[in-house]
Structure 1
Amino acid sequence: MAEPIITFDEPDKKFLPGDKVTGKVTLELAKPMKARSVQIYWMGFSRTWGVKFISYPNSKTIFYGTEMVWVAKDGKNELPAGKHEYPFSFTLPLDSPPTFVGLNGRNEYTVEVVIDRPWRLKKIVDKEFCVTKDMKHEFDIWETGYDWEFTRKIDSGLIFSSGPITLDVAIPKLAFEPGEKVNIEFKITNHSGSAVRQIFAEFNEHGHYHHRCQLTPCKDRFSCPLSIEEFKNARKEMASEKRKVYVAPHSESTFIMPFVIPPEAKTPNFKTGLMSMDYFFYVGIRVENKILVDGLVLGAYIGDRVAKKEEPSEVVREEKSKEQEVSETSAPPAYTP
């Protein structure tokens, strides 16, 4: 039996919420096939799992649609031989979150074709498509043309300290495209008796997953209204850089660390009532004779600089003759009784 083939009119496009998705299902048969109907489904689901120790997967329907494109009407239950093409078209909801696969959840979008065959299992073929998010607003805020600066005071010892260390971090922006390169500046002012031996930067993905869907998303992972048993935070390190340095006691040094945003970080930051996902840098230093590292967290935004292009409105202009223009601009004739 020939496999039905699902093709999108824009196969490589990352769709935005509100976009129209179009395509067709193609089925080529060398001979007639026993079938009752051919039906096309388009659907989007958001799912979480493993939030509780013993739990069932939770799912939220983003959208769901279907169309019966062919049905046997003559009682023969037979799809004729030849090439059959069935177009489909639907519009994504405005609140569609981006496509995402995380440690404890995912957002997925698919088109599915189902052929109902008498006395046999249904033939099912599906194909995923990608949904993204317009990040223009985030780029306008976090890509301003000047450095973002952060400071942290660090003790040189875990229990016994020989003085404070000041870490100043500067980064030119906090909104990035996948694979983009950025320079992180470390300014270390060492007022302690211990040397600083290392600087580092990590890039992490953080997922916040709910066991059940809420009406509104959490503001952040620290303000979740659910009990600790009904949500889960999961962090995944995606890239890291380390460099050996030496900042002597009672001295000051500045270092520049080039850092590449991992190309696989493609999903834009998003929040829904079922899960949220964001990114952050963890940058810091390692002090001599101290077991733990010290650093600070910098929130980051990832996405493509995409924006909906406004289609120019059609303006109907009435062409006027020179006589009309003159008559409209000239003064009216004088009144005569």
Structure 2
Amino acid sequence: MSIFCEINISRPASEEFKPGDAVSGLIGYEVDEKTVFNKITVSLKGYGYLRIINRHHKEDPKYYNKEEYVNNDNVIVDSEIVLPIGEYETKFSFKLPENIPPSFVYHNNKNGYCIKCKIFYFIQIKFNSPDVLRSPEIFKKEIKVGTVLTSSLLKEPTVYSKQKKIVQLFSGNNTITIKAGIDKSVINNCEMLKFHYKVINDTNVAINSIEVKLVEVHTFNATGLQPVKRYNKVKETKSRTASIKGGDIQKKHFEIIVPFDKKTLQHSKIVSRDYFVKIRVLLPLFRQNFALYIPIEVGDENLTETELFESRRSYWEVMDECKVNKVINDKEHCITNNEI
């Protein structure tokens, strides 16, 4: 006996669902001989899995964590039934919960940790037989879930500052101060990020340069292990300024377009993704650099499909990128359920 199944999902124009969206479609299945079932269930499920191998120890201990985001069942057959040879159809409709994380895949094997993490959602149909020795027949089709940003930072101008004291002989002036202001800390995807800073060098030590860039930070939380962070600079956002002599002040204004594939990841206990503007003071040899981090949140907050498309197109026009394959290719390593 064989069951042939096809799961057809009515997808939105953007090809990804948002939290709170309805997920509907049609499942067609065929049996090639008369078959008895005692239960047929259609489900919407969503899970997050994390595995971290700690390479700092000889035993390579493994740490895990998991989450369930949605597990909705619709039982279409709940008593014993005989299905003759033929083709059958069943419709389904589920609603995604609010405040769930987006689909996510991550694989990294650097700096002493091997990290694999996956957040995924799928439609499933399960055929149970009254024969206890026979395993259920299960068919799945994954759906992609995007994110709707839940902002916690200010959407108005905000000022940050940081100071560092420099050890100097025979000088009472020994402080370097960074003061930075950002127009708003919550921005839509592909929107222009505008900020400025002032560095006051109240020392007799020349500052080599000021480095500015956008930084992406993933934080992974496995049971029994301290949070593991991974830092990545966002391409095309790094710049350096001229040196600052002792006693001088440097003021600069910056504008950065955040790439459309960079979004804050929220609503998960196993992983988060955050973004910061990093303003780093580069000092001469034998003196420790220091930096000011300005937190920002990035997402498609209240954008329509048309606005989202236009913002993405504007980004690639500004960045002088015209190749479609560079926009849509997904270079992330895929993790199967067996790998988790």
CA 1:252–1:126: 2 relative to 1, 3 Å: same
Q: How does 1:1-337 map to 2 (within 5 A)?
A: 4-10=6-12, 12=14, 14-26=16-28, 33-34=32-33, 36=35, 39-50=41-52, 53-67=60-74, 73-74=81-82, 76=84, 78-80=85-87, 85-102=89-106, 104=115, 105-113=117-125, 122=137, 124-135=139-150, 137-138=151-152, 142-144=154-156, 147-156=157-166, 163-212=174-223, 229-239=224-234, 240-266=237-263, 268-290=264-286, 292-306=288-302
Letter in 2 for 1:231: Q
CA 1:187–1:290: 2 relative to 1, 3 Å: farther
- Range with bigger deviation, 173-182 or 37-46: 37-46
Please give the per-residue CA displacement for 1:224-262, whole angstroms capped at 9, x wherever unaligned: xxxxx4332212314141214122221122122332323
Which protein is bigger by CA-based radius of gyration? 1
CA 1:185–1:111: 2 relative to 1, 3 Å: same
Contact 1:281/1:299 (<8 A) preserved: yes
Letter in 2 for 1:33: D
Question: Aligned equivalents of 1:270 and 1:55: distance in 2?
Answer: 25
Question: Aligned equivalents of 1:167 and 1:184: distance in 2?
Answer: 13
Percent identity of the aligned residues? 16
TM superposition score normalised by structure 1? 0.67
Give 5+ residue unaligned stretches, structure 2: 55-59, 108-114, 305-340
Q: How much is the aligned-residue C-alpha RMSD, in angstroms? A: 3.8
Letter in 2 for 1:41: S
Question: Aligned equivalents of 1:159 and 1:85: distance in 2?
Answer: 84
Question: Aligned equivalents of 1:208 and 1:39: distance in 2?
Answer: 36
Letter in 2 for 1:175: V
Contact 1:238/1:262 (<8 A) preserved: no
The count of corresponding residues between Structure 1 and Structure 2 is 279
Question: Aligned equivalents of 1:40 and 1:120: distance in 2?
Answer: 17
Please give the per-residue CA displacement for 1:243-300, whole angstroms capped at 9, x wherever unaligned: 141222211221223323232212x342444444433222122123355431112221
CA 1:271–1:206: 2 relative to 1, 3 Å: farther
Question: Aligned equivalents of 1:123 and 1:21: distance in 2?
Answer: 19
Question: Aligned equivalents of 1:254 and 1:156: distance in 2?
Answer: 21
Contact 1:269/1:279 (<8 A) preserved: no
SS at match of 1:142: coil
- Range with bigger deviation, 190-199 or 269-278: 269-278
Give 5+ residue unaligned stretches, structure 1: 213-228, 309-337
